[in-house]
């Protein structure tokens, strides 16, 4: 009997090309951030000059600080609410308004950002809220909550429910069964959800542009206004720092899921 | 009563907080967009008229209601700028989604055929760029595509072109940017369905004498259609409203609707027209949005 070869030459070629396409541009950006030359395209030797420039750029530093604060607070609120939503949807069986709930919860995943941003701004204006840190945080929470919910819900869906049921048969009330049994098992997914929310918030330009006020620009807003004026080596340095920060976050996330897998559980599906 | 049902009751209470949050910050705002899309621009703070003031009493509210009109929507339909912007957005989204499917499918297919232990690594490799900033990834391409950028340097060195090609501010640059940014969204759902597929089906078709391309067209591709649907919707809907990529990479002579909306809002300070444009965009996307909702629900609630 002839066995069909699983991995053809075409498969290998498309994988290699695909990954190269995904990674080369980022790699080039990082390398050029260490370029000594002012011209972004001419290689003038290795240097940390542009990093120095960034750390002396007060406006940039302030924007970066604002972005970090927004990312940490919105990711934390989104993780709390998103996890609650995931629990309700995967364990709540049927309840009134469930369809509307899951509908509004998942919609921001694909909703064009200009629409979400504009509608939130109009709400803030109508409420007469002062625009700045809190309005951006609320907007980012709304955007990222659904990502957390999807990650946690898919983990809850793959859990063996007889574990919770066993805990309750042994006398736990539902809340205690959840805290003692379910929560530790979905912890890696919650961590992964937080990380995802954090990076999405750090990254967002459009929604932040709509919902922020004068004098409180986030890092993407600053980067965007600089990029519109053309390529600057300092931007390469900032981008490299952001990539490094996100890389650290990913390493922590994967360590967290490793840690829990060493306790006899499989890693989070993200 | 089974313990499963006992568990469900407190689980339902968990919905309250996120439910209220999404009502207040996602559904209610659309009412404001609708209301302001029916208002007129005014040189005031906030820059539209009428402003509802519930403390001013019933008569004031009635006057305000009477002042609402659909003029902004008439403008959107009659002015070529907006009509062209919607048409261009849809054209760009269809073309880009087709390109994404064409490029993403072979990659997802290759991933699904890797040995099991490698598949996890490949999946992480596809997801990681999605975690790095969107704006940064577009910026990386500006670096490469600019007049004396790396791409032109390579093309010149290989003598493929005699003088630098203009890449920036063209549609090709925009398509490169869109494909680059959305590729993980296409690959992951495709990979998810392809990886679940029973390899024996393809082998059986091959054993019965079908040439590889026929095995692909008659067995593999039809079975992967759910993944194709998810990937297409996940890319198509946000691309229609895309702002950053066309703004930074495409030329400024033909705008997409996301750019037009942005321009009306930030440059012209015409909030009512921007709101009307958002409402129309939402209506245009309603069918794909509903399809996506159904798909998402089925995927998450049937378990995997």
Task: Quote ipTM for the complex.
Answer: 0.84
As given in the structure block, the two tokens for residue A12 are: 């290998």
- Which member of A92, A106, A116 has the closest CB to residue B296? A106
**A214: nearest Cα among B90, B274, B45, B284:** B45
Q: How far apart are CA B256 and CA B87, in angstroms?
A: 8
Residues of B in Cβ contact (< 8 Å) with A3: 203
Q: What is the pLDDT of residue A1?
A: 39
Residues 6+ apart with CB under 8 A from B51: B64
The shortest CB-CB distance from B203 to any of A4, A122, A177 is to: A4
- Residue B40 DSSP SS3: strand
Report the alpha-carbon distance of residue A77 to residue A120 in Å, rounded: 17
In Å, how far is B75's CA from the nearest CA of chain A? 19
Q: Which of B155, B193, B300, B181 is nearest to B246 (CA)?
A: B181
Q: What is the pLDDT of residue B218?
A: 87
What 3-state DSSP class applies to B48? strand
Instruction: State whether B143 and A91 contact (CB < 8 Å).
Output: no
Q: Do B14 and A85 touch (CB under 8 A)?
A: yes
- Could you read off the pLDDT tens digit of each residue along chain A, which spans 270 residues? 344 456 788 888 888 898 888 888 888 888 888 887 776 667 777 888 888 888 888 888 999 999 999 999 999 999 999 999 999 888 877 777 888 888 888 888 888 999 999 999 999 998 888 899 999 999 999 999 999 998 898 888 888 888 888 888 887 888 888 888 888 888 888 988 998 899 889 889 999 999 998 888 999 999 898 888 877 788 888 888 888 888 888 787 777 766 655 554 444 444
Secondary structure class of B49 (helix, strand, coil): strand
- CA nearest A18: which of B125, B294, B301? B125
Contact call for residues B262 and A114 (beta carbons, < 8 A): yes
User: Do the chains contact at B203 and A150, CB–CB below 8 Å?
Assistant: no
Strands B40-41 and B48-49: antiparallel
The beta-carbon neighbor of B141 closest among A25, A109, A249 is A25
| Phi–psi pair at B132, nearest 5 degrees | -80, 150
Q: Would you state the pLDDT for residue B186?
A: 93
Nearest CB to A104; choose among B22, B107, B183: B22
Enclosing H/E stretch for B4: helix B3-13
> In a structure prediction context, what are the per-residue pLDDT tens digits for chain B, which is 304 residues long?
566 767 777 778 888 899 999 989 998 999 889 888 888 877 666 777 766 666 666 776 677 776 677 888 888 888 888 899 999 999 999 999 999 999 999 999 999 888 888 888 888 888 877 777 778 888 888 888 888 888 888 888 888 888 888 888 889 999 999 999 999 889 989 998 898 888 888 888 888 888 888 888 888 899 899 899 999 999 999 999 999 899 999 877 788 999 999 998 988 888 898 999 999 999 989 888 888 888 877 776 654 4
Question: Under an 8 A CB cutoff, do A22 and B27 touch?
Answer: no
Shortest CA distance to A109 belongs to which of B194, B234, B190? B234
Supply the pLDDT for residue A251.
81
The answer to whether A224 contacts B244, with C-beta atoms less than 8 Å apart, is: yes
């Amino acid at each position: 009997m002839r066995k069909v070869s699983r991995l053809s030459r075409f498969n290998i070629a498309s994988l290699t090309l695909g990954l190269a396409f995904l990674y080369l541009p980022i790699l080039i950006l990082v390398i050029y951030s260490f370029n000594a030359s002012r011209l972004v395209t001419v290689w003038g030797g290795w240097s940390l000059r542009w990093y120095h420039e960034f750390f002396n750029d007060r406006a940039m530093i302030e924007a970066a600080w604002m972005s970090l604060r927004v990312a940490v607070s919105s990711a934390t609120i989104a993780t709390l609410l998103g996890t609650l939503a995931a629990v309700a949807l995967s364990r709540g069986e049927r309840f009134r308004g469930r369809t509307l709930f899951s509908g509004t919860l998942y919609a921001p995943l694909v909703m064009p950002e200009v629409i979400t941003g504009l509608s939130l701004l109009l709400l803030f204006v109508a409420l007469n809220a002062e625009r700045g840190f809190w309005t951006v945080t609320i907007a980012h929470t709304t955007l990222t909550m659904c990502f957390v919910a999807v990650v946690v819900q898919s983990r809850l869906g793959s859990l063996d429910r007889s574990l919770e049921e066993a805990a309750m048969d042994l006398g736990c009330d539902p809340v205690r069964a959840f805290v003692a049994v379910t929560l530790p098992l979905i912890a890696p997914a919650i961590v992964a959800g937080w990380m995802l929310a954090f990076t999405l918030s750090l990254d967002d330009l459009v929604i932040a542009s709509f919902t922020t006020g004068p004098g409180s620009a986030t890092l993407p807003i600053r980067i965007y206004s600089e990029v519109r004026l053309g390529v600057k080596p300092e931007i390469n340095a900032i981008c490299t720092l952001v990539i490094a920060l996100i890389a650290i976050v990913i390493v922590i996330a994967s360590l967290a899921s490793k840690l829990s897998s060493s306790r006899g559980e499989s890693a989070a599906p993200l | 009563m089974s313990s499963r049902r006992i568990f469900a009751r407190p689980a339902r209470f968990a919905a309250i907080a996120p439910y209220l949050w999404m009502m207040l910050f996602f559904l209610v705002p659309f009412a404001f967009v609708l209301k302001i899309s029916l208002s007129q621009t005014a040189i005031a703070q906030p820059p539209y008229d009428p402003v509802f003031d519930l403390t001013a009493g019933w008569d004031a509210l009635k006057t305000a209601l009477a002042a609402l009109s659909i003029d902004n929507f008439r403008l959107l339909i009659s002015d070529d700028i907006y009509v062209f912007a919607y048409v261009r957005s849809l054209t760009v989204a269809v073309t880009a989604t087709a390109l994404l499917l064409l490029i993403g499918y072979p990659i997802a297919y290759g991933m699904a055929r890797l040995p099991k232990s490698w598949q996890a690594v490949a999946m992480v490799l596809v997801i990681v760029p999605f975690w790095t900033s969107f704006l940064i990834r577009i910026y990386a391409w500006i670096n490469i595509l600019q007049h004396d950028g790396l791409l032109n340097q390579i093309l010149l060195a290989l003598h493929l072109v005699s003088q630098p090609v203009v890449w920036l501010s063209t549609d090709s640059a925009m398509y490169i940017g869109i494909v680059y940014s959305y590729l993980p969204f296409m690959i992951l759902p495709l990979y998810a369905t392809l990886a679940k597929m029973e390899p024996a089906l393809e082998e059986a078709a091959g054993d019965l004498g079908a040439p590889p391309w026929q095995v692909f067209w008659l067995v593999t591709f039809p079975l992967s259609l759910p993944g194709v649907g998810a990937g297409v919707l996940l890319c198509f809907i946000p691309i229609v409203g895309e702002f950053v990529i066309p703004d930074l990479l495409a030329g400024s002579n033909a705008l997409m609707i996301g750019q037009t909306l942005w321009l009306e809002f930030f440059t012209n300070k015409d909030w009512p027209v921007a709101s009307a444009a958002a409402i129309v965009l939402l209506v245009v996307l309603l069918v794909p949005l509903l399809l996506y909702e159904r798909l998402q629900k089925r995927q998450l609630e049937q378990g995997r």
